[in-house]
């Protein structure tokens, strides 16, 4: 790992790193916030997955989460949303595919399959690096995210029973197989076999999983992407039909931005702390 920068924050330490990812076959960036409690003992960890166009920096700079992570003694980890600067034709042509838009899946279609293995990176490779190099408790992690990252957090939690103690999301893409963002990304990364898409669709997973992990979701009513891309009503219907626990909070007047995230970030840290510190 190469340390890029380090700053003291709320008694803890925020660091940015670059490293060579084995699963993505390229350099990747991630950030770690260690609360002050990490100076004396191991702490639980909460992974945050960012949305389209973001890097590992956006959440750490804009969310204000570190204050609450310090209060509860929880480490925060963010990562870039895709590999970058690979020279793949078309990787920088649009905001919703390629660079900054990995969709937290394992690509199987060329030319993306060699490098775009974000599912394995987030679920397997990065946690191993974090636990090996930082004072992190094993078997004490949770996950949350925003928009595309909310999609990633929900699908990863549902697909990996026991790996995460809790999951939540801000304005997640809950049914990517039913909107233009997901259809574009999945057809490009996974090919045209739609049966392969469903493994990365929260609504479809809810229909077929026995993992009844509770879902906490905040969604702004003035979100510009609400009707065309986010469609929380599809998740509500799936959860009701399959008796899956869901706490969907429609927040009046809020949009899709980090102003929205920062307004409710404390609630999410408190929520995850309840599970992470339950021992």
Distances in whole angstroms, Cα of residue 127 to Cα of each of 11, 140, 240, 246: 24, 11, 33, 26
| Band of residue 157 on the pLDDT scale cut at 50, 70, 90 | very high
Distance CA 85, CA 27 (A): 9
| Band of residue 279 on the pLDDT scale cut at 50, 70, 90 | confident
| Band of residue 278 on the pLDDT scale cut at 50, 70, 90 | confident
Between vectors from CA 147 to CA 149 and to CA 164, what angle results, nearest 5°? 40
- Domains of the chain, with CATH numbers? 2-277 (3.40.50.1820)
Chain segment 177-195, per-residue pLDDT in tens: 999 999 999 999 999 999 9
Share of the chain above pLDDT 90, in %: 99
Chain segment 12-34, per-residue pLDDT in tens: 999 999 999 999 999 999 999 99
Closest CA to 126 of 74, 54, 48, 197: 48
| Band of residue 153 on the pLDDT scale cut at 50, 70, 90 | very high
Q: Both tokens of residue 187? A: 């057809």
Distance CA 143, CA 241 (A): 25
Chain segment 201-232, per-residue pLDDT in tens: 999 999 999 999 999 999 999 999 999 999 99
Average pLDDT, integer, range 158-183: 97
> CA 68, 69, 70, 73: dihedral to nearest 10 degrees?
130
Q: Mapping DSSP to helix (H, G, I), strand (E, B) and coil, where does residue 243 land?
A: coil
Sheet holding 12-21, edge to edge: 2-9, 12-21, 26-34, 75-79, 43-49, 136-146, 167-170, 215-220, 246-251
Burial 181-215 (b: 16+ CB within 10 A, else e): bbebbbebbbeeeeeebeebbbbbbbeeeeeebeb
Q: What is the pLDDT of residue 277?
A: 87
Alpha helices in 74-134 (DSSP H): 118-120, 126-133
Average pLDDT, integer, range 107-127: 98
| pLDDT higher than threshold 90 for residue 107 | yes
**CB 234, CB 174: distance < 8 Å:** yes
Please identify which residue in the block is written with the tokens 């869901």.
246
pTM over 0.75: yes
**CB 23, CB 119: distance < 8 Å:** no
Please identify which residue in the block is written with the tokens 């039913």.
178
Q: What is the pLDDT of residue 161?
A: 96
| Interacting residues of 166 by C-beta distance below 8 A, sequence separation 6+ | 142, 143, 213, 214, 216, 271, 272, 274, 275, 276
Chain segment 59-80, per-residue pLDDT in tens: 999 999 999 999 999 999 999 9
Which residues are known catalytic residues? 147, 223, 256
Average pLDDT, integer, range 231-260: 98
Distance CA 62, CA 258 (A): 6
Q: What is the mean pLDDT of the chain?
A: 97
- Sort strands 75-79 and 26-34 into parallel, antiparallel or unpaired: antiparallel
């Amino acid at each position: 790992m190469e340390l890029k920068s380090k700053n003291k924050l709320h008694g803890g330490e925020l660091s940015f790193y670059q490293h060579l990812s084995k699963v993505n076959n390229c350099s990747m960036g991630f950030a770690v916030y260690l609360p002050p409690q990490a100076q004396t003992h191991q702490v639980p960890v909460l992974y945050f997955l960012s949305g389209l166009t973001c890097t590992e920096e956006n959440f750490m700079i804009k969310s204000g989460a570190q204050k609450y992570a310090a209060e509860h003694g929880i480490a925060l980890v963010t990562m870039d949303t895709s590999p970058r600067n690979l020279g793949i034709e078309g990787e920088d042509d649009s905001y919703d595919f390629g660079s900054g838009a990995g969709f937290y899946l394992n690509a199987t279609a060329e030319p993306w399959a060699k490098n775009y293995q974000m599912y394995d990176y987030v679920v397997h490779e990065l946690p191993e690096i974090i636990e090996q190099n930082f004072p992190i408790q094993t078997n004490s992690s949770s996950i949350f995210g925003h928009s595309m990252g909310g999609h990633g957090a929900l699908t990863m939690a549902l697909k990996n029973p026991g790996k995460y103690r809790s999951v939540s999301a801000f304005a997640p893409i809950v049914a990517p197989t039913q909107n233009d963002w997901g259809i574009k990304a999945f057809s490009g990364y996974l090919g045209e076999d739609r049966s392969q898409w469903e493994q990365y669709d929260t609504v479809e997973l809810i229909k077929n999983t026995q993992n009844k992990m509770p879902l906490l979701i905040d969604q702004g009513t003035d979100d510009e992407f609400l009707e065309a891309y986010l469609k929380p009503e599809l998740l509500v219907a799936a959860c009701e039909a399959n008796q899956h626990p869901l706490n969907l909070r429609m927040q009046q007047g809020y949009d899709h931005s980090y102003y929205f995230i920062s307004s409710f970030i404390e609630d999410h840290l408190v929520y995850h702390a309840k599970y992470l510190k339950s021992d």
